Amino acid sequence: MTQADQHNDLVLLKEIAEGDQQAFTMLYKRHHQGIYNFLLSIVKIPETAEDLLQDVFLKIWEDAKQLNVATSFSAYLYQAARNKAIDALRRIARDPLLVDEVRHRLSSGIYQLTYQEQEWKQYEQLFNKALEALPPQRRQAFRLVRQAGKKYDEAAHLMGISRNTLKQHLSLAVESIRKTLLDEGDIILALMTAILFGVLI
């Protein structure tokens, strides 16, 4: 974006602060597609990206008088969108239906294959690093229950430990994986990895 565009954004923002709906429409038309694509690249669900897009611009309209954007409005807008997307990923991680939809979209042909494979590789590498860092019993507990789908009693029997001990190993495993994801990746990468591999953050 040129300096002239940035200047025009700030002029429009000032007019929006004065209640100019036409200025708001112009600002929306200028930025909405880029912000939508950015949001979709993070949350993967078109309907969620559209809702977040509306939230971002509604906030601009409501808070225009208080906004203090000294230089790049575009940078401010993308940061606001990123924050909305992070909040959305946290909600998605707690909704099994949305988790399934994200997994489906990433594993289907909806996204360009090369980009899709690169994303999966990032998620898998980060998750495998977190998993391999676990002590052997915690790693086995996680693999049996979370990856192989074993019931607690069955997994405990296979490991030769009590049900309560298994649950303790599993809880500690999840906590360790969560910490590694946050330490090793940025928050968006960590959240998406957690969604795909069943570790809430």
106 or 35, higher pLDDT: 35
Q: What angle do CA 152, 153, 154 make, to 5 degrees?
A: 95
Q: Do domains 3-93 and 112-197 have the same CATH topology?
A: no
Q: What span, in angstroms and rounded, lies between the C-alpha atoms of 34 and 49? A: 12
Helix (H) or strand (E) holding 165: helix 163-184
Q: What span, in angstroms and rounded, lies between the C-alpha atoms of 159 and 143? A: 11
As a whole-number percent, the residues of the chain with pLDDT over 70 amount to 89
CB atoms within 10 A of CB 179: 14
Tens digit of pLDDT for each residue in 125-151? Answer: 888 999 999 999 999 999 999 888 899
pLDDT at residue number 109: 52
Tens digit of pLDDT for each residue in 56-91? Answer: 999 999 988 888 776 678 888 999 999 999 999 988
Q: What span, in angstroms and rounded, lies between the C-alpha atoms of 176 and 51? A: 33
Q: What angle do CA 37, 41, 43 make, to 5 degrees?
A: 110
pLDDT at residue number 182: 80
Cα dihedral sign, 196-197-199-201:
negative
Where are the chain's structural domains?
A: 3-93, 112-197
Q: What span, in angstroms and rounded, lies between the C-alpha atoms of 87 and 108? A: 25
Confidence of residue 200 (pLDDT cuts 50, 70, 90): low
pLDDT at residue number 121: 80
Mean pLDDT to the nearest integer, 80-103: 88
Q: What is the CATH class of 3-93?
A: mainly alpha
Assess whether pLDDT exceeds 60 at residue 45.
Answer: yes
Confidence of residue 192 (pLDDT cuts 50, 70, 90): confident
pLDDT at residue number 116: 58
In the chain, the amino acid numbered 9 is D
111 or 108, higher pLDDT: 108
CATH 1.10.10.10 fits 112-197, yes or no: yes
Confidence of residue 3 (pLDDT cuts 50, 70, 90): very low
pLDDT at residue number 67: 81
pLDDT at residue number 1: 47
Q: What span, in angstroms and rounded, lies between the C-alpha atoms of 8 and 22? A: 14
Mean pLDDT to the nearest integer, 41-49: 89
